[in-house]
Amino acid sequence: MTLPGAPYLARDAGELRLEGHSLAELAARFGTPLYVYSRSAMRDAFQAYERALQGRRHLVCYAMKANSSLAVLQTFVQAGAGFDIVSGGELARVLAAGGDASRVVFSGVGKTRAEMRQALQAGVRCFNVESASELDTLNAEALALGCRAPVSLRVNPDVDAGTHPYISTGLKGNKFGIAHDQAVAAYRHAAALPGLHVQGIDCHIGSQITQLAPYLDALDRLLDLVEEVEAAGIPIHHVDVGGGLGITYTDEMPPAASEMVRALLQKLDTRGHGHRELLFEPGRSLVGNAGVLVTEVLVLKPGQVDDGGKNFCIVDAAMNDLMRPALYEAWMRIEPCVQRAGVVPHTWDVVGPVCESGDWLGRDRRLAVECGDKLAVLSAGAYGMAMASNYNTRPRAAEVMVDGSRVHLIREREDVRSLFAGERLL
Ligand code: LLP
């Protein structure tokens, strides 16, 4: 059986190991719930984009919303990545991790004036602007600071990314981007504003995309616009195709990053746009399969299965630690950290202790488990810790990064007192 996350995640003599480190041992040392990441897996995933783009003007901007822990960002800074941010908070994190604002693109459908000023002062590479109103506000803020804001317009190409409706963003009915048929007017408007400097065009059509066709369709739509906008006398320097490449959670077979990049480069070339700088904003495909969430079995609660009941395996990680199953009904593989001989497997719903029926991590999973066993939720490196909350006053998990023979605690387990430190009694 190949595990998603291979080659760094492997079962060896019954023990699940990440870069050779036993997940059960890491759980015993650092406690659970525990996120564990492989630094090599992150680096490899980034290098796959870089290698495919060699010899081309390009910038791969890690969409840090997928996992914004400082050591993860530092890993990408050292690998030479740029960053795609969506808030002033994310900009502060990039800078704290040693990143360079000139390699940052600022996305997001609702930026505040304060965030615009912060990003202008830091000197971000580009603002991905999503509406005419945002152009006006950004223009005013740039003029007030005596500078010009570099802008790209995020166009909604109206293509179906074929993914979950909550993470599909490139269709007409989505809140994102400027409608394709309004884009030329928006470019004319931008070019006329003295505080703006048009740099590029961008789109992002969704997440966990497993087909090439939507990317190619979206790029065609962008290039049509580039041609129209340039014919109107407004030069476009870069084309940013966003992120969205899927990973394998179960049996999905997304194209490899290299294959996706090659197909896009080929389209650029055949349409005569090969000279343009190409930007990417991958999140999940850089970190998703580099991480696991390790949790301990607290309670086994068998049900009257022949009477519509269910068997519940209650673990110490919950929807607050990993929201994807509850929010998107996402299927994430669950594996015992140590395989059990002599325990009869049953079909379990793996659920957390939070007081919601939606608090589940996996349903109908065949597992041989006993109380105290450790389970690993795989492919949890993206949108796991980054979406964690303190619901039920649960401190957020600790995070560990393994790197060859080294083990780094990159985030301490949250302390309960810090959860209400900013609160005041009447
Ligand atoms: N660029 C923009 C403008 C985005 O909005 C996103 C993700 C990305 C890039 C990176 O997309 P990726 O390569 O990671 O697919 N929480 C959801 C995913 C939400 C994605 C939001 N935008 C999940 O857990 O599936």
Whether 295 contacts 320, CB under 8 Å: no
Atom of ligand 1 nearest to the CA of 286: 13
The string of pLDDT tens digits covering residues 321-342 is: 999 999 999 999 999 999 999 9
Whole-number Å distance, alpha carbon 116 to ligand 1 midpoint, is 21
- Predicted local confidence at residue 306, as pLDDT: 83
| Cis amide leading into 7 (omega within 30) | yes
Whether 380 contacts 66, CB under 8 Å: no
Which among 251, 249, 162, 257 has a CA at the least distance from the CA of 207?
Answer: 162
Give the pLDDT mean for 390-409.
Answer: 98
Q: Residues with Cβ < 8 Å from 147, sequence gap 6 or more?
A: 120, 195
Asked if residue 30 has pLDDT above 80, the reply is yes
Whole-number Å distance, alpha carbon 138 to ligand 1 midpoint, is 24
- Atom 6 of ligand 1: nearest residue by CA position: 243
- Predicted local confidence at residue 350, as pLDDT: 98
Round to whole Å and give the CA distance between 300 and 289.
Answer: 28
Mean pLDDT of the chain: 96
| Residue to substitute in 46, 65, 261 for testing ligand 1 pocket (most ligand atoms within 8 angstroms of CB) | 65
Whole-number Å distance, alpha carbon 283 to ligand 1 midpoint, is 6
Atom of ligand 1 nearest to the CA of 282: 13
Q: Report pTM.
A: 0.97
What domains does the chain contain, in order, with CATH numbers?
A: 9-38+288-419 (2.40.37.10), 107-282 (3.20.20.10)
Whole-number Å distance, alpha carbon 287 to ligand 1 midpoint, is 12
CA distances for 145 relative to 26, 88, 94, 198, angstroms: 50, 17, 22, 18
**DSSP 8-state assignment for residue 245:** B
- Predicted local confidence at residue 39, as pLDDT: 98
- Predicted local confidence at residue 310, as pLDDT: 94
Whole-number Å distance, alpha carbon 208 to ligand 1 midpoint, is 8
- Atom 5 of ligand 1: nearest residue by CA position: 204
**Where does the pLDDT of residue 307 fall: very low under 50, low under 70, confident under 90, or very high at 90 and above?**
confident
| Residue to substitute in 61, 284, 285, 389 for testing ligand 1 pocket (most ligand atoms within 8 angstroms of CB) | 284
- Atom 16 of ligand 1: nearest residue by CA position: 383
**Where does the pLDDT of residue 165 fall: very low under 50, low under 70, confident under 90, or very high at 90 and above?**
low
Asked if residue 164 has pLDDT above 80, the reply is no
- Predicted local confidence at residue 308, as pLDDT: 84
Rg (CA), the chain: 23
Atom of ligand 1 nearest to the CA of 208: 15
Whether 85 contacts 281, CB under 8 Å: no
Round to whole Å and give the CA distance between 41 and 151.
Answer: 33
Whether 148 contacts 196, CB under 8 Å: yes
Q: Give the active site residues.
A: 355
Atom of ligand 1 nearest to the CA of 383: 24
Q: Which residues line ligand 1 (CB under 6 A)?
A: 63, 65-66, 84, 107, 167, 204, 207-208, 242-245, 281-285, 324, 328, 383
Which among 146, 140, 92 has a CA at the least distance from the CA of 119?
Answer: 92
The string of pLDDT tens digits covering residues 203-223 is: 999 999 999 999 999 999 999
